[in-house]
Amino acid sequence: MKIAYSEKIIPTEIGVSIGGYGPYDITVEKLDELYLTMLVMDDGNKKIILISYDLLGIDANWLNDIRSGVAAVFGGSPADCMISCSHTHTGPQTREYCGLPDVLNVEYLNTVKKLSIDTAKEIAAKEFIETEIYFYSQNCDKNRNRRYIGPENRCSFLPFRRDMEPMSNGVCDKEMGGLCFINKATQQPEYIIGNFAAHPLAGHCPGIGGHRISADYPGIFRNYIKSETGAGCMFISGAAGDVVPHGHETGVEAIRQVGTAIACAAIEGILIATRDAESFKLKNETLQSTSEFVTCRTRPHKNKQIPSFYPAKDKIELELQVVSIGDVCFIGVPGELVVELGLEMKWHSPFRKTFIAYCSTGYVSYLCHGNALVSGGYEGGAQLLDSHGGLKLVNTAVEGAYKVYEKTFPDQSGWPENHHPPLVALKNI
């Protein structure tokens, strides 16, 4: 696999409104810069572009424009460009807030769009580097589900009841995983992608912490990986809709602790992987991509509205994007997918490893399982889709995963020996 990559600061000035907890909070200081990171992979037949932004989220209409512009630089389609927003709560307002289009920072989004296309052109002019790819996976106990469900099936929202955190009983995905690209010439790490599920709001504490510009713990993760390995680095948030980092909302020390811990877990995982090439090195480096669309019904909501650019208000068409690199795939989701649905996508995927790309194809608030609407709590209360929406998203994502899997392994050779191959598609069951 040949790769090229770049990292750019997204210029962000103190005084912009922040996208964390309300539409009109104004930043008063900057803790660290926000970044755009971009990786382009070339298998000789196809190019795939991965982009990660230190931003809360971006609406689908803007994402589509950016993906189209970036993909065109490399002669591809929008499905070949996957974007993910880390969902840092200390970045500017880059999505329509609760049906209020006036809070959208259009000037800033135009800057992001231009910077993305310019970065793609810069990468296209580079000499690509020959690499071999390893996936890695490591358990990292630095997150927890923020919903406590009692025996009566009612939710207590733990950010409002910090005293109950020791009782946290919700499902959680503690996998710190991703890809490591090893430079064939030097046999050293060239680029590392990390994927972990936890809301990037470790530093969003009361007062100054909630009014400053910061990439939160994903920034620390990248800096640690780069300084210790010398490799380029990208962070992609996993299904973190109802998952928070340890020490969430307590400030700079929580940012440092979580970012460093997941970086160390990634390095441990890479050590294991690169010392066991038979198990972790990708034998097939074929690139594939697809965009699958599903129409979901919406439900009446007193506080939130469907973003204004969607033509209908009683239903909404959402995109699930799947990008595969050999026997690893990333699934891009259109908002704040809860961890339970992310794990469903992972469990039902035919790939050796599957990772979720958060706030990837749009931003339509929380994407929950049906019982979250029954048990209540913040996430279910904020959902715009009806109770069937989450299941439809899972099914559509898994269908897309099977579609690209069958292109990558038409003879089912990716399935372990002596095991039954995956069924060809859900629709054939």
Q: Name the residue ranges covered by the structural domains of the chain.
A: 287-341+348-428
For residues 393 and 388, give the distance between their C-alpha atoms in angstroms, rounded to a whole number.
Answer: 9
Query: What is the pLDDT, as a whole number, of residue 428?
Result: 46
Q: What is the pLDDT of residue 416?
A: 60
Dist CA 281 CA 274 (whole Å): 7
Q: Write the single-letter amino acid at 249.
A: E
User: Which of 32, 53, 31, 40 is CA-nearest to residue 4?
Assistant: 40
Q: What is the pLDDT along the chain (429 residues), one digit of tens a residue?
A: 999 999 999 999 999 988 888 777 899 999 999 999 999 999 999 999 999 999 999 999 999 999 999 999 999 999 999 999 999 999 999 988 766 667 789 999 999 999 999 999 999 999 999 999 999 999 999 999 999 999 999 999 999 989 988 888 889 999 999 999 999 999 999 999 999 999 999 999 999 988 999 999 999 999 999 999 999 999 999 999 999 999 999 999 999 999 999 999 999 999 999 999 999 999 999 999 999 999 999 987 666 666 776 766 789 999 999 999 999 999 999 999 999 999 999 999 999 999 999 999 999 999 999 999 999 999 998 899 999 999 999 999 999 999 999 999 987 666 665 555 555 555 544
Q: How many CA atoms lie within 13 A of 385 on its CB side?
A: 28
Task: Give the per-residue pLDDT at 429.
Answer: 42
Cα(first)–Cα(last) distance of the chain, in Å?
Answer: 35
Q: Give me the pLDDT at residue 2, please.
A: 98
Task: Provide the pLDDT for residue 25.
Answer: 86
The rounded distance, in Å, linking the Cα atoms of 170 and 241 is 12
Residue 72 CB: number of other CB atoms within 10 A? 14
Return d(Cα 294, Cα 362) in angstroms, integer: 13
